[in-house]
Each structure stands twice: as structure tokens, then as C-alpha cells.
Structure 1
Amino acid sequence: MAVTAATRWASRAQFFASGFIFATWGVHVPTVKGHYGIDEAQLGLAMLAAGAGAMYGLTSAGRWIGRHGPRRMAALCGCVYALLLCGLVAMPGYAALLGLLAVFGLVTSVFDVAINTEAAPRELRDGKPLMSGMHGMFSLGGMAGAASGSAALAAGLAPQNHLLLVSAAMVALVALSATRMLPKPPATPGAAEADHGFRLPRGALAVLGVLAALGLIAEGAIYDWSVLYLQQELGSPQKQAALAYASFSAAMAAARFGGDALRARFAPAVLLRGSGLLAAAAMTLALLTDWPWLALVGFAGVGIGFANVVPILFAASAKVPGVEPARGIAAVSAIAYLGFMAGPAVIGLIARATSLTAALYVVVVFAIALAASARYAAADQPAR
């Protein structure tokens, strides 16, 4: 099956849409908190519901994508993902919000695995790094989503109207780009026999999963809490606070677009070590300053630091001997989402007991842990 410019741009568009939707939810975390009258711990529980849904999706993503192909699953889950934005501030109560976010997490995770499953084997075929660039489109979408959300809030657009507009635009983008994705490849000999459901990964996949969890806990903390941090801890208006995720995503996108060249030049362990140290230093700056604009600079540094963590580890998971790319990515994602699922709730509980500032030092701790463990970022061992 020929890979054309259209198929490459289709993949980029899917990553962009994923980031845009992701950031739109992030911008409206304070909106959701205020609309339902909940505290940080309850908000953390809502994020935990999303994480639980994501875990369920990840246990089945490899099987579903193997059966139906990345194109169909990306189209279905991406469109549902976008449509669910409309319900964020339209649920009749907190319990209903938990249910919506559980489904939100499920389709998010399967969509994520589907688009990575299409991109990762292409890197292997082309013989050169490209996953950082694909994830750069995710970050670019995040930057655009956060910036447009900030502009909508500044213009006085009602949150529900903003969510409806974003939902309609992203459904159209996902559906159109899915038509240009590659069709389902022929079945690999022996694949039917291997299709026995999800197993908790071991060996190289487990190591990669733990490292990805460190990165996603820290990255997810910025996504889930940075807007609220600027608004609540530093007293920024929400239209300025929305720029926290925008600055993070913009810097991450820029670093990811240059990341493939870095990955071609430096060993994964070197990049991971430098990434963790930079992220730790930048997050410390963001948390120590009382100036919102300097905090935005810190969040941008965190974005640069974490830019290539997930691309490196997801690309490695698709290269583990004896494992199909979809299953490798799903397995590593599953461990990563265990951390991603628990992280927001833990931060919410720490924030209620102390402060959100103190809770966000979790990002610093995990960034340092990632740097210290970077030497284990290898995919040259067969899965067991």
C-alpha cells in the first residue's frame, strides 16, 4: 500500500485534532469545576473516571484495531471524542459528569492508539524518525485549542457555545482525514492465534511503560491543572490562565518538530535524561515565581522538556521483537495510563490537604525520576 502525501497529512490532521480536543477540555477545567460546584478532590475523581475509561479502552484497543484497522477505529472514536465535548457543562449533575468522562477517556485512549498504530510502522518502513513530528501536530493542536479557547473566553463567548463550535469543527476534521488514512492491512500470519486479549506487559514493554507513565503523569498534570493553577494560585483571569496550556503546547510542538532530527543524532537515553532535567528545572521556576508571565515561561520550558518523551517510548514499543505494533503501543500505553489515571486524583487530594502549588511539585519529582531512569529506555529485548 503506497504512502502518499495525502495519507501523511491525514495522520497529521488526526494528531492535530486529538490535541485540539484535549486542550479544549483543559481550558474548560475551571468552567467544569465552577459549573458543578466541586472542589479539587472531586475534580480529581472526575479525572480518575476518565482515566478508568481509558484503561478499559487500552485493554481492548489492540484487539479492536487489529480486527477493524486503524482507519475505522480512528474515525469512530475520534468523532465520538469530539462530540462528547458538548456534554461537559450540559450534564444534569456530578454523577452524570463522571459517566460522560469515563466514556470520554475510553474513546480518547482507543483513538490515541489507532493514530499511533498508523504512524509507528511508517517510521519503520521509511527508516527515519518521524514520530516526534506526528506528536508535534498533537502539540500544535493543543496550542491552537488552548489559544482559541482563551480568545473565546476573552470575547465573552458562552462556554457551551464554544464547546459546540469546537465539537462540530473537530468531527468534520476527523471524519474527512480518516477517509485518507491507509486501509486495514492484510492480516499477519498467525495473528488470529495470537489474538487472545490483553495481558499486562512484561520485560522490555513493562520498562517502556513505566517510563511512559512517569512522562504522562507529569505531562497530564500540566494539562489538567496548569490553567487552574494560574487562575487560583496566581490570581490570573481565566482568559490569561488559559494561556498556561497554550504556552506548554506551543513549546512542546516546536521541540517535537525538531525532535526527529535530535532522535536521529542522539541515543534515546541521552534525550530522555536531558528532557527530564530540563522539565524539572522549568517546573520549579513556574512554581516558585509569583509572576504569571514568568510562570508561563516555566510551563513552556516544561513543554520543551517533555516534548520527545512519549514519541521516543511509543516508537520503541512498536519495535519490540515478537510484538505487533498495535499491541506494543497499547501495552505501553496501558501502563502509562495507570499513572495518568491516578495522577490527577492524587494531585487533587494533595492540593486539598495542602495547596495546588505543593501538589504540582509531583511534576518535578517525576521529571527527575525519568532522568535518573533514562538508561532503561531500550526496546532491544523481546517481550516475555
Structure 2
Amino acid sequence: MTPPSLSGASRALRIQFFVMGVLFATWGVHVPIVKAHYGLGEQSLALAMLASGIGALAALAYAGRIVGRFGPRAVAGVMGCVSCVAIASLEVSTQYAALLVVMLVFGSFGSLFDVSLSTEASEIERLTGKPLMSGFHGMFSLGGMAGAGLGSAVPALGLSPQAHLLTATGACALAVIVASRAMLPVPDHAGEEKHPLSLPRGPLALLGTLAAMGLIAEGAIYDWSVLFMKQERASDASTAALAYAAFSAAMAAGRFAGDWVRARVVPRRLLRASGALAAAGMALTLAVPSPAVGLIGYALVGLGLSNVVPMLFSAASQVPGVSPAHGIAAVSGVGYLGMMAGPPLIGLIAEHTSLTVGLLVVVVFAIFMGLSAKRALRG
């Protein structure tokens, strides 16, 4: 069998990131439907999201060992397909316990899918010697935009929610199977990680905290933006789904331009500006009771957050005395936990106050990221 080419592996990885974005968007678009289907309040819905976070935590503890043993190609193929099955099963049952199991599976297998893709991205960057991380993450955002766009069109197409889930996840599973075959084989150093994930220390602790905050903000938009537009702004289903699409489109644009911007703006100044823009966009969405303004605000949040994670990953790979692979793994692991645990936290706040108050977390964390730029980043 002819080994995959580096260019072919890069294309395959972009497809995989795109698929992951579609899966997250499909879940995000269906949050209001899931809430109604199971008859849930914000707290019960938040606990279902927490089940996803618990699954992610359990899987991330051994992600390095699993990916190191089997390689990103095999792990991405299996975990991507199982993630598709989990999303397809969201509304099969009406029992709350079944939803908890589905979310647990999606969290655990989805996190392994994510880690395998990040590992492959780091390897391709190493082999090419070029900064490509922003572009890869841009495909995730592009997938989110496409998934949200399809979700917005579902009412006009006359598809039932279950038909939409089966159509979207079936196409994603096929793409995962095809793309995983073109990914790189296991690199010689892939088995270095022998121990469960440990919490980062020193400079990596601050970078990991900021990554977690950035991904909590990102996860809040993925999981709560559609429900916010529908519940707090009385938007119809199509307009509500556009909130996710506006956020993802702006984030994709920011990430595709990210490598060019990062070559011209020093990291700490860019992180400071990114935090300010994200905070302003979220504050605009929460303060002005207009669906149109809300969409603009979500786009500003997406643009502000677009290069936060690539910047932090890059900084993690340059921490003195720490190998690039270990630095990126430590920061991405904590960051991913933030993305999975943040939305349930917002849901618990919303249950006792309102979703508007819950989403203020995004504003607070974005401001903190901007204020921490000088201490966290060099240059």
C-alpha cells in the first residue's frame, strides 16, 4: 500500500476538522429540540451537557496513551464514526437516562477524536515547518457554519429533526471513513506518552487556564446561542440557527487569516485585542434586544475568539524546558475540558437566574483573557 502523501494528509485532516465542526453545530442546532423532546428545564439540560464533560474528562486522562498506541489515523476513524452515531441518536428515545448515555458517549469519543486530530496537526506542522494550526481550526469553524446553515434550512426543506440528524451524521461518517485512510501513519515518536494526563504547571498552567476560558466562551456559543435567540429574543427556528452560523463564519474567516495576522501583530497585543472584541460582541448581544443585533454580536465574538486557541497552542510549544508535543497536549487537554464543562455551568446559572445572566460568563472570561495577555505571552 502506498503511504499517504503529506499534502494528501493535510487535505484529509482539514476534512476531519470540518466534520467535527459539523457535528458540534448539529448538536448546537438541536439543543432547543432536545430540550422540548425530553421536556427539560435549563438545569436538566445542563446536567446532560455535564455528562458530556464527564465523558471527555475520563477519555482525556488516557488520550495520549490511546493515540500514541494506535496512531491518529486509526483513532480518528473509529472515534469520528462513533461520535456520528451518538449525535444521530440524540432523539431516538424519550428517556432522560438515554440522553445522558448519548452525551457521555459523545463527550468521551468526541474528545478522543479531537485529540487525534490535534496530534496529526502538530505532526504535519513539524514535518512542513509551517504555521498551519489556524487554518486547520478554521475548517472546524467552517464545518460549524455549514452544519448550522443546514440546520437553519431544515424547516424550509420539510425535514423532520430525526431526518436531519440522520442525513448530517451519515454524510459525516462517510467523510470520516474516507479521510482517515489518507491521514499519516503513526509517527516514530507517537508512543512517547505513557502516562495519564496530568494538570499543567508553571507557565503551562496559565496558558491552559486561558485556553479553558476561551473554549468555555466558544462552547457557550455552540450550546446556548440558538436557545438564547429562540427563548430570549423570540426568534423563529431559522433565525435562531443563524446565530451559530454567524459565529462560525466569523471564526472561520478569522482563523483562515490568522497565520497572516499572527505574522504581523505581536501575540500579547493580538490576545488583548481578541479578548476586547469578544467581550464587546457578547455584551452587545446581551444588551440589545434585537435578533439582528444579536447576530452581529455573535459574529464579533467569533472574530474575537478565532485566534485565541492557535496563539495559546503556539505559546505552549515554545515554553522553555518543555517539548512542543507535551506543551500543546497539556494546554489543549485543559482547554477541551473547559469547552465541555463551561456550557453546563452556564446552564446552572441560567436555571436560577436567566440565560442572559449565564452568558455574561463569556464577557467576564474574554476580559480576563485580554488582561492576562502580558503575563501569558512573550512579544
TM-score range (shorter-chain normalised) is over 0.9
TM-score w.r.t. the length of structure 1 is 0.93
SS of 1:312's equivalent? helix
CA contact (8 A) 2:152 2:238 kept: yes
Q: CA deviation at 1:81?
A: 0.8
- 1:22 aligned partner: 24
Letter in 1 for 2:177: A
Where structure 2 has 5 or more consecutive residues not aligned to the other structure, the ranges are: none
CA contact (8 A) 1:61 1:330 kept: no
Partner Cα distance (2:59, 2:197) in 1: 11
Write the deviation string for residues 153-181 of structure 1: whole angstroms up to 9, x where unpaired. 33221000110011110011011011111
Matched, 1:96 2:98: yes
- 1:355 aligned partner: 354
CA contact (8 A) 1:33 1:43 kept: yes
Partner Cα distance (1:111, 1:322) in 2: 28
Matched, 1:109 2:108: no
CA contact (8 A) 1:251 1:301 kept: yes
Q: Mean Cα displacement is larger for which, 108-117 or 266-275?
A: 266-275
SS of 1:265's equivalent? coil
CA distance 1:226–1:23, change in 2 (3 Å): same
- 1:232 aligned partner: 231
Q: 1:250-269 counterparts in 2 under 5 A? A: 250-269=249-268
Write the deviation string for residues 276-325 of structure 1: whole angstroms up to 9, x where unpaired. 00000111111111110111011000000000011122233344456555
- 1:169 aligned partner: 171
- 1:211 aligned partner: 210
- 2:148 aligned partner: 146
Q: Mean Cα displacement is larger for which, 300-309 or 110-119?
A: 110-119
Write the deviation string for residues 186-227 of structure 1: whole angstroms up to 9, x where unpaired. 247xx56x6132222212322211010110111111111100
- 2:73 aligned partner: 71
Partner Cα distance (2:324, 2:68) in 1: 10
Write the deviation string for residues 315-344 of structure 1: whole angstroms up to 9, x where unpaired. 333444565555433322332234334322
Q: CA deviation at 1:18?
A: 0.5
- 1:179 aligned partner: 181
Letter in 1 for 2:169: S
CA contact (8 A) 1:58 1:333 kept: no
Matched, 1:128 2:130: yes
CA distance 1:273–1:348, change in 2 (3 Å): same
Given candidates 31, 50, 69, the residue that maps to 1:48 is 50
Letter in 2 for 1:195: K
RMSD of aligned residue pairs (Cα, Å): 1.9
- 1:345 aligned partner: 344
Partner Cα distance (1:176, 1:202) in 2: 39
- % of aligned pairs identical? 56
Q: CA deviation at 1:92?
A: 4.1
CA distance 1:57–1:329, change in 2 (3 Å): farther
TM-score w.r.t. the length of structure 2 is 0.94
Partner Cα distance (1:124, 1:267) in 2: 22
Partner Cα distance (1:359, 1:293) in 2: 21
SS of 2:62's equivalent? helix
CA distance 1:268–1:2, change in 2 (3 Å): farther
CA contact (8 A) 1:121 1:325 kept: no
Write the deviation string for residues 35-55 of structure 1: whole angstroms up to 9, x where unpaired. 000001111111111011111
- 2:306 aligned partner: 307
Partner Cα distance (1:258, 1:298) in 2: 20
Letter in 2 for 1:79: C
CA contact (8 A) 2:13 2:121 kept: yes
Write the deviation string for residues 329-374 of structure 1: whole angstroms up to 9, x where unpaired. 3322332234334322221122122211121111101100010111
Q: CA deviation at 1:379?
A: 8.5
SS of 2:61's equivalent? helix
Partner Cα distance (1:198, 1:313) in 2: 19
CA contact (8 A) 1:79 1:175 kept: yes
Partner Cα distance (2:189, 2:29) in 1: 41
Where structure 1 has 5 or more consecutive residues not aligned to the other structure, the ranges are: none
